[in-house]
A and B are shown apart, each in its own frame.
Chain A
Amino acid sequence: MPVVDVDPDELRRLTGHEEKDDDELKEDLFALGLEYEGETEAGEMQLEFGPDRLDRLSVEGVARSLRYQYGDDRGVYVPDTNDADWTIAVDESVPDERPYVTGAVVRGVDLDDDALDSLIQLQEKLHATMGRKRAKGAIGIHDLTMLKGEVPGGEGGPTITYRGVAPDGDRFVPLDADAEMTPADVLEDHPTGRTYASLVEEYDRYPAIYDEIGLFSFPPVINGRRTEVSTGSRELFVELTGTDQWTIDRMCNIVCYALDARGATIERVDVDYPDGTLSRPDFDVEEKTVDHAQIERMLGVDLDPETAVDLFERSGLDAESEASETPRKDGEAVDDAPAYEVSIPPYRVDVLHPYDLVDDVGRAYGFNELDPRYPDVATVGGRHDRSKLEDAARRSLVGLGFEDLLNFHMISEEENYDRMRVEPGTDAVGGGDPVTITEPYSEDYTMLRTWALPSLMMVLENNTHRAYPQDLAEIGLAAERDDDENTRVAEHRTVAAVLARHDATYEDAKARLAALCADFDADLRTPRTDHPAFIGGRVAEVVVDGDAVGVVGELHPEVLVEHDLELPVAAFELRLDALK
């Protein structure tokens, strides 16, 4: 979940509530859904929240939400914008994989160190979330005064161009570098370039932005040094490229709102695509219809319409009441209950459905103000047959003196097969084909276990310093590859048990297996068999009610030594469903 670092003093200043102490702020933020996680070395509050309200990824956005919460601001706010001077021309050479661009000009900014840090933080957090690590959208912020947009002797306003460039087609000095590099050099030699190389390295042409002087930005990888923003910058050019126009437009809006909150003026730019021109940033206000009944249903309380409108406005929304045609859920017509035409400000990225607006009303109302009630619906509870059987078998094993264990279903090939002397793809119990994890991150967990005895052997191995006897049992999942299954995985519950004691014999294991089977009125036979994990002549197939369902025997000395054990182990394993 996103975490935003916020200086509490700056937050007080931006909300205009100098009187709030840190604890009050934390409480107010909690009610908004921002959880205080701790503080940074610099004393900033680290606030964690769900990745819906990405407009809160900076102190300016958090302050805006708090001002609405406190009732200091109401309704939709849209910053004024000046007419476009600059144009972003989109050239046909733009890579097909990343065709979209947007942007804005911001004038009259006054960036002190805090404001600059906040802007950089906002940019990075937007990259991490909405931008999907820059794959879907990436932001570049430039010092406008370093751009040269006028075509000498040309007509029209200043222009920058979004286009494609051959990997080694041009040179520029990227941020944090001293020499000119080609985009291909950047991907190979620049630390930031290496980090983001995978985003573009497959492209034929790399994305690039040019002004009259030349290449100054290589999105989504790195900006050029020429246009680097500093605390001295007073005018900014914000550009965003990406794979979806709406996404980068909204990211742009969030950045513009944050700068507007610092007193800057937003100036539109024209984005000139070959097939038409867009005016950006897109501050259009969207509308959705919310039924009053929907609000009451969700909150479980009666609300008069004035209160509802008030709550909308305190969420930074506008609500226009209108008569509703929508019947209630129970079919009863509700002519008197209104609906609201709700306006949504353009920094909101989370509103997909009227319900999302009802949630805003609930947050403004204060969910913790609601009286909990136990729902008055009667249902009959019960356990699943499989889990009842599992519990019954577990009780039997515990009654027989076994310590019940609980191990991971994921295991390594080495543990599951090699250390047990079992080959994959064989008929032996445990010899089923593995279900492997495509990209395992730990060599200890690369597949689902095909049987549970290896897990118990690992527990014995890790507990040789504990008192014996160690009589252990586990009932749990085992799985093997089976393409006839819809999931391609045949899952079953398995019952495994080991007796590790100085005098453990085949007979000890069989006696307990027989007792277990007797508990479930299952007919047990143990015809001799061979199994590589067990000593020849001291291992039998477990046949229950005529079906071969497992194995019982004394473990092979090689397996014991492999697991650092210095005493015999008798064991059995069978399918749980054999006891049904």
Chain B
Amino acid sequence: MQLPESQVAVLNAASATEEQTIERLAEVTDLEPETVTGAVFDLRDDGLLAVEERVEETVELTEEGELYADDALPELRLYDAAVELGADEAAVPMGQVVGASGLEGPRVDIALSNFARKGYGSIDDGEVVADADADPEADAEARALEAIAAGDDVDVEPATLDRLESRGLVVRDEHTVRSVTLTDAGVTALMEGVEVAETVDRLTPELLTSGEWRDVEFTEYNVEADAPEIRGGRTHILRQTADRVKDVLVGMGFEEMEGPHADAEFWINDCLFMPQDHPARTHWDQFALDVPPMEDIPDELLERVADAHRNGVGADGDGYRSPWTEEVAREIDLRGHTTSLSMRYLSGFAQGELDPPQRFFSVEKVYRNDTLDPTHLLEFFQIEGWVMAEDLSVRDLMGTFEEFYNQFGITDLQFKPHYNPYTEPSFELFGHHPETGELIEIGNSGMFREEVLRPLGVDCDVMAWGLALERLLMLIYGFEDIRDVHGTLCDLELLRETEVLH
């Protein structure tokens, strides 16, 4: 039988009758204990050695513990000094006793508190009285320290050990002791003869270029052992989710939009036929910016939008009974939805007039003055998408969204009739949570109103929908607090350890 050198040495050193520890084998073979351990395990796996394991506790003195073992416990020094000064007969000022004991710094406090605890005397009004009957020779802690220092700690009371440990004088440690004996197979192998195989640890350039690699055996590794932890970079999980959404939408024929985060209310709200006194347009819901108003808004478009607000669109259309001013329209806010981008594209302002059919989307940040809580952020990503075609019905809208949500495991969509100022009909989309089965709102959708489309110069149908990306993320990953993920309060560990979903 051929075995690596270390295994041969260990096998030769082992005995069938006498248990030997790893340390002992290391001594005998003159190998490192780690090497012996590795060899022992390999030999055990081959059935040549038997290994018995038991857990032993070791107790070692700390630096402070060693000091007291050499010297004496501070409380005993204090007692000796007190007796010296006659405190066993009459009270002696504490300062005198401390001075005589030679204790300094934090030791003084240690001595004083243990002195009283162990009944060596009492300290009252700054005076020390020593108990004449106390027996420092019998101090259990002092004796335990001595015993441990001498390596003879078997008989130390566990309670005393606990006390010493809490005083920081000893450290206790558990370790596994392995005892090794030869098995019958091991004895047989030795009798039949065991030779050393030439093994190498590392594959070196020399081995490769010389061709020596042909004649060597490679040391076996414990391939099941843990490897050191390393971390690579990774894309933020919210970005990953956004990328998934983008992939799905591009695959469905949608083209990505782009546009400003700070925009005129005109593009954010007025084009969407949101009356200027709409509750969502107060400063409680949106972030107005402290900048001058926007100058460049196409005049004709501005007039058509104003007219839609005031007078409605079409022969039988009515406007809002709400005031409308250009000043409000030109004010600049952080966009509350990315529908501002849809307006810029539909009007032709973004990249020229569009002819049907078209599909556009964006997955971009929006800003809303909501209360920050586990499910609401002041800024979040909105998935926005729309389809422009000559003739679209509610059925097309339903078909598109079923397809989209299907990609994320959400089937069986329900459409709840809803109201938005800018779409009619409008639907809130509900779906069953893929994990919990609960019916939850997963989006808002509708067909853009003529009051939105006609002023923009669009003469066909457009259906649109929006949804918070964070909502989709929480749905997919089951997170409970979005603040752990998005923003400067994020938890790096959570981001590092979250499973990658695709």
Annotate B312-343 by CB proximity to A: 1 below 8 A, 0 otherwise: 11111111111000000000101000000000
Q: Chain B's nearest CB lies how many Å from the CB of A220?
A: 15
A residues touching B (Cβ–Cβ < 8 Å)?
30-33, 35, 49-53, 129, 132, 136, 244, 246-247, 288-289, 297-301, 329-330, 350-356, 358-359, 362-363, 367-368, 370-375, 377-384, 386-387, 391, 394-395, 397-410, 435-442, 445, 448, 455, 458-459, 462-463, 466-467, 470-473, 477, 479, 481, 483, 486-489, 491
Q: Is B68 an interface residue (CB 8 A)?
A: no
Q: Is B90 an interface residue (CB 8 A)?
A: no
Cβ-defined contact, A363 with B417, below 8 A: yes
Annotate B426-440 by CB proximity to A: 1 below 8 A, 0 otherwise: 111000000000000
Cβ-defined contact, A487 with B399, below 8 A: no
Cβ-defined contact, A489 with B262, below 8 A: yes
Which of chain A's residues has its CB closest to B316's CB?
Answer: A288
- Pick from B263, B378, B450: contact of A487, CB under 8 Å: B263
In the bound complex, what is the Cα–Cα distance between A247 and B257 (angstroms)? 39
A401-B233, A477-B365 known; A375+B396 contact, CB < 8 A:
yes
Cβ-defined contact, B261 with A491, below 8 A: yes
Q: Which residues of B contact A358 (CB under 8 A)?
A: 424-425
Q: Chain A's nearest CB lies how many Å from the CB of B207?
A: 32
Q: Which residues of B contact A352 (CB under 8 A)?
A: 312, 317-320, 451
In the bound complex, what is the Cα–Cα distance between A477 and B381 (angstroms)? 13
In the bound complex, what is the Cα–Cα distance between A348 and B238 (angstroms)? 43
A375-B396, A377-B387, A488-B294 known; A387+B426 contact, CB < 8 A:
no
Annotate B190-216 by CB proximity to A: 1 below 8 A, 0 otherwise: 000000000000000000000000000
- Pick from A51, A351, A382: contact of B255, CB under 8 Å: A382
- Pick from B416, B425, B488: contact of A359, CB under 8 Å: B425
In the bound complex, what is the Cα–Cα distance between A478 and B496 (angstroms)? 25
- Pick from A301, A355, A391, A462: contact of B489, CB under 8 Å: A462
Which of chain B's residues has its CB closest to A290's CB?
Answer: B316
- Pick from A373, A382, A435, A437: contact of B250, CB under 8 Å: A382
Q: Which of B7-15, B180-188, B283-291 contacts A (4 or more CB under 8 A)?
A: B283-291
Q: Which residues of A contact B283 (CB under 8 A)?
A: 438-439
21 contacts between A and B (CB under 8 A): A33-B418, A129-B279, A244-B322, A329-B391, A352-B318, A353-B313, A354-B314, A362-B425, A375-B399, A377-B357, A404-B239, A405-B236, A408-B378, A435-B290, A437-B288, A438-B288, A441-B369, A448-B261, A463-B491, A473-B233, A487-B294
Q: Chain B's nearest CB lies how many Å from the CB of A67?
A: 18
In the bound complex, what is the Cα–Cα distance between A57 and B250 (angstroms)? 42
Q: Which residues of B contact A441 (CB under 8 A)?
A: 369
In the bound complex, what is the Cα–Cα distance between A384 and B360 (angstroms)? 11
- Pick from A32, A359, A375: contact of B400, CB under 8 Å: A375
Q: Is B100 an interface residue (CB 8 A)?
A: no
Q: Is B375 an interface residue (CB 8 A)?
A: no
A-B contact count (CB 8 A): 283
Cβ-defined contact, A33 with B416, below 8 A: yes
Cβ-defined contact, B260 with A491, below 8 A: yes
A398-B234, A403-B492, A406-B239 provided; 14 other pairs, C-beta below 8 A? Answer: A244-B321, A246-B321, A329-B391, A352-B451, A363-B417, A379-B359, A384-B257, A391-B243, A404-B235, A436-B290, A439-B288, A467-B493, A488-B292, A488-B332
Cβ-defined contact, B393 with A299, below 8 A: yes
Q: Which residues of B contact A463 (CB under 8 A)?
A: 490-493
A247-B321, A383-B246 known; A435+B291 contact, CB < 8 A:
yes
A404-B236, A410-B378, A471-B233 known; A356+B424 contact, CB < 8 A:
yes
Q: Chain B's nearest CB lies how many Å from the CB of A36?
A: 10
Q: Which residues of B contact A406 (CB under 8 A)?
A: 236, 238-239, 485-487, 490
Which interface residue of A30, A244, A404, A462 has the most chain B CB atoms within 10 A? A404
Q: Is B502 an interface residue (CB 8 A)?
A: no
- Pick from A299, A384, A404: contact of B395, CB under 8 Å: A299
A354-B314, A382-B256 known; A400+B395 contact, CB < 8 A:
no
Q: Chain A's nearest CB lies how many Å from the CB of B45?
A: 34
Cβ-defined contact, B379 with A408, below 8 A: yes
Annotate B398-417 by CB proximity to A: 1 below 8 A, 0 otherwise: 11111100000000001111
In the bound complex, what is the Cα–Cα distance between A370 and B398 (angstroms)? 9
- Which residues in window 344-360 of B have CB below 8 A to A? 356-359
Which interface residue of A330, A407, A483 has the most chain B CB atoms within 10 A? A407
A367-B427, A438-B288 known; A410+B251 contact, CB < 8 A:
no
Q: Is B67 an interface residue (CB 8 A)?
A: no
In the bound complex, what is the Cα–Cα distance between A350 and B414 (angstroms)? 24
- Pick from B314, B334, B403: contact of A374, CB under 8 Å: B403
Q: Which residues of B contact A488 (CB under 8 A)?
A: 262, 289, 291-292, 294, 332
Q: Which residues of B contact A373 (CB under 8 A)?
A: 395-396, 398-399
Q: Chain A's nearest CB lies how many Å from the CB of B353?
A: 16
Cβ-defined contact, B294 with A379, below 8 A: no
Cβ-defined contact, A375 with B387, below 8 A: yes
Q: Which residues of A contact B395 (CB under 8 A)?
A: 299-301, 370-373
Q: Which residues of A contact B399 (CB under 8 A)?
A: 372-375
Q: Is B420 an interface residue (CB 8 A)?
A: yes
Q: Which residues of A contact B249 (CB under 8 A)?
A: 381
In the bound complex, what is the Cα–Cα distance between A473 and B398 (angstroms)? 40
In the bound complex, what is the Cα–Cα distance between A381 and B253 (angstroms)? 4
Cβ-defined contact, B277 with A132, below 8 A: yes
Q: Is B465 an interface residue (CB 8 A)?
A: no
Cβ-defined contact, B233 with A400, below 8 A: yes
Listed from nearest, the 3 A-B pairs whose CB atoms lie closest are A50-B419, A300-B393, A372-B398
Q: Which residues of B contact A395 (CB under 8 A)?
A: 235
Q: Which residues of B contact A442 (CB under 8 A)?
A: 372, 378
Q: Chain A's nearest CB lies how many Å from the CB of B1?
A: 46
- Pick from B232, B253, B320: contact of A380, CB under 8 Å: B253
Cβ-defined contact, B239 with A359, below 8 A: no
In the bound complex, what is the Cα–Cα distance between A378 and B254 (angstroms)? 10
Q: Which residues of A contact B149 (CB under 8 A)?
A: none
In the bound complex, what is the Cα–Cα distance between A367 and B429 (angstroms)? 12
Q: Is B295 an interface residue (CB 8 A)?
A: yes
Q: Is B392 an interface residue (CB 8 A)?
A: yes
Which of chain A's residues has its CB closest to B377's CB?
Answer: A408
In the bound complex, what is the Cα–Cα distance between A201 and B2 (angstroms)? 102
Q: Which residues of B contact A438 (CB under 8 A)?
A: 283, 287-290
